[in-house]
Amino acid sequence: MRLVLVGPPGSGKGTQAERLVKQFGLTQVGTGAMLREAIARGTEMGRRVEPLLRAGLLVDDPTVNDVVAELFRAPDRPDCFVMDGYPRTYSQAIAFDALMRQQFLSLDAVVHLTIPDDEVVKRISGRRCCSNPECGVCYHVHARRSKAEGRCDHCGWPLVLRDDDKEETVRRRLGEFHKNTDALVEHYRRQGLVRDVSATDPVDVTFANVLKALGK
Binding site for ligand AMP (CB under 6 A): 31-32, 35, 52-53, 56-59, 64, 85-86, 88, 92
Active-site pick, 19, 123, 127, 195: 127
CB 40, min distance to ligand AMP, A: 13
CB 197, min distance to ligand AMP, A: 19
**Residue 102, amino acid:** Q
13 is catalytic: yes
Closest CB to ligand AMP belongs to which residue?
A: 32
User: Is 123 or 146 the residue whose CB approaches ligand AMP more closely?
Assistant: 123
Distances (CA, A) of 61 to 73, 88, 166, 169: 18, 9, 27, 23
123 is catalytic: no
173 is catalytic: yes
CB 20, min distance to ligand AMP, A: 16
127 is catalytic: yes
Cβ(125)–Cβ(161) under 8 Å? Answer: yes
- The strand pairing partners of 138, in sequence order, are 129
CB 33, min distance to ligand AMP, A: 6
Q: Which residues contact 71 (CB under 8 A, 6 or more apart)?
A: 29, 34, 77, 78
For residues 173-194, one letter each, b for 16 or more C-beta atoms within 10 angstroms of the residue's C-beta and e for the rest, the string is bbebbeebbeebbebbeeeebb
User: Is 68 or 152 the residue whose CB approaches ligand AMP more closely?
Assistant: 68
User: Is 35 or 129 the residue whose CB approaches ligand AMP more closely?
Assistant: 35
Cβ(90)–Cβ(183) under 8 Å? Answer: yes
101 is catalytic: no
- Residue 189, phi-psi category: left (phi > 0), alpha (psi -120 to 50), beta (remainder): alpha
- Residues noted as catalytic: 13, 88, 127, 162, 173
